[in-house]
Amino acid sequence: MSDGPRALLRSAIDAAFASVDRGVERSAVDEGFLATLGIAGWQIGNSASVLAEEAGRPGLPSTHIENACASGGFALRAGAQAVAAGRDLVLVAGVEKMTDAPSARRRYWLGVSGDTEWERLAGLTFAGVYGLIAARHAAEFGTPPEALAEVAVKNHAHAAKNPNAQFRTPISRDEWARSPRVADPLGLLDCCPVTDGAAAVLLAGEDVARHYTDTPVILAGLGAGSDYLALQERASMTSLAATRTAAAEAFRGAPFDRGAIQLVEAHDCFTIAELVALEDLGFAPPGGAAALTLEGATRLGGRLPVNPDGGLKAKGHPIGATGVSQVHEIFQQLRSAAGGRQVAGAERALAQNVGGSGATATVTLFARG
Amino acid sequence: MTRRLVAGATYRPRWLAGGVPVEGPDEDAFTLAVAAAERLGTTESGRTATIDRLELVGEFPPAIDRMLLEALGLESAEVHRHGPGVEGFAHALNDVGRSPLAPEGAGAVITVDVASARTEGAGPSGAVGVALLFADGPGAELLGHATRSHPPERPPVAAEWIRAAHRAHPTANSSTTGRLGVIARAAPPVLLAEWSRIFPAVEPVVVPWLDPGTGALPSSRPALALRTFLERTPPGDALWLAAIQSDRTEFLAIRGEGPVVWADPVPSLSRPTPADGPFPSASASDLLRVSEGAYVARPRYVENLPSRWRFVADRCAGCGTTGFPARGRCRSCGRSDGVAPIALPREGLTVLAATTIHPGAQPTEFDPLTAAIGPYSVVIAAWPDGPKVTLQVADAPAGTARVGDRIGTELRRLYAMEGDWRYGRKAVVTPGAVPGASAAPT
E strand segments, B257-387: 261-262, 271-272, 312-316, 322-323, 339-343, 347-357, 376-382
Nearest CA in chain A to B386: A235
| pLDDT tens-digit series, residues B154-201 | 888 999 999 999 999 999 999 999 999 998 877 889 999 999 999 999
Select from A181, A178, A179, A152 the least CA-distant residue to A167. Answer: A152
E strands, A112-158, are none
Q: Closest by alpha carbon to B196, among B204, B188, B207?
A: B204
- Is B358 in Cβ contact with A125 (below 8 Å)? no
Query: Quick one: which of A219, A218, A236 has its CA closest to A227?
Result: A236
Looking at this protein, which amino acid is placed at residue A230?
A
* Of residues B440, B430, B411, B437, the one with CA closest to residue B23: B411
What's the CA gap between B104 and B136, in Å, rounded? 8
CA dist list (Å): B83 to B32, B36, B220: 17, 18, 12
Distance CA A362, CA A266 (A): 11
For chain A, first and last CA: distance in Å? 41
CA geometry: angle at B102 spanning B96 and B104, to 5°?
100
- pLDDT tier, B267 (very low <50, low <70, confident <90, very high otherwise): low
Per-residue pLDDT of chain A (369 residues; tens, 9 = 90+): 689 999 999 999 999 999 999 999 999 999 999 999 988 778 888 999 999 999 999 999 999 999 999 999 999 999 999 999 999 999 999 999 999 888 878 877 777 788 988 999 999 999 999 999 999 999 999 999 999 999 999 999 999 999 999 999 999 999 999 999 999 999 999 999 999 999 999 999 999 999 999 999 999 999 999 999 999 999 999 999 999 999 999 999 899 999 999 999 999 999 999 999 999 999 999 999 999 999 999 999 999 999 999 999 999 999 999 999 999 999 999 999 999 999 999 999 999 999 999 999 999 999 998
A131: number of CA atoms within 13 Å, CB side?
Answer: 29
* Yes or no, beta carbons of B353 and A104 under 8 Å apart: no
Tell me the helix, strand and coil percentages in chain A, rounded to 5: 40, 20, 40
What ipTM does the predicted assembly reach?
A: 0.94
How many CB atoms within 10 Å of residue A338?
21
Residues of B within an 8 Å Cβ radius of A: 292-296, 300, 304, 308, 323-325, 331, 352-358, 360-367, 369, 375-376, 378-380, 387-392, 399, 403-404, 414, 422, 424
Q: What is the pLDDT of residue B410?
A: 95
* pLDDT at position B279: 77
Query: Is there a contact between A202 and A196 (Cβ–Cβ < 8 Å)?
Result: no
∠ CA A32-A35-A40, rounded to 5°: 135
B360: closest chain A residue by CA: A182
Global confidence as pTM: 0.93
> CA neighbours within 13 Å on the CB side: how many for B108?
32
Report helix, strand and coil shares of chain B as percent, to nearest 5.
25, 35, 40
Q: Judge whether A60 is closer than 8 Å to chain B, CB to CB.
A: no
- With an 8 Å Cβ cutoff, are A232 and B324 in contact? yes
- Angstrom distance (rounded) from CA B154 to CA B2: 38
Q: Is the dihedral of CA A297, A301, A303, A308 positive or negative?
A: positive
Chain B hits for A117, Cβ within 8 Å: 296, 300, 304
Residues of B in contact with A232 (CB under 8 A): 324, 380, 387-390
State how far the Cα of B331 lies from the Cα of B315, in Å rounded to an integer. Answer: 10
Write the residue in B353, B364, B379 that is nearest to A107 by C-beta: B364
Nearest to B392 among A123, A132, A180 (CB): A123
Catalytically active residues of A are 69, 317
**Are β-strands B140-149 and B3-11 bridged in parallel, bridged antiparallel, or unpaired?**
antiparallel
CA A338 to chain centre: 17
Average pLDDT over every residue of B336-353? 95
> Which of A296, A363, A367, A368 has its CA nearest to residue A70?
A363
Buried b (16+ CB within 10 A) or exposed e, B323-347: bbbbeeebbeeebeeebeebbbbbb
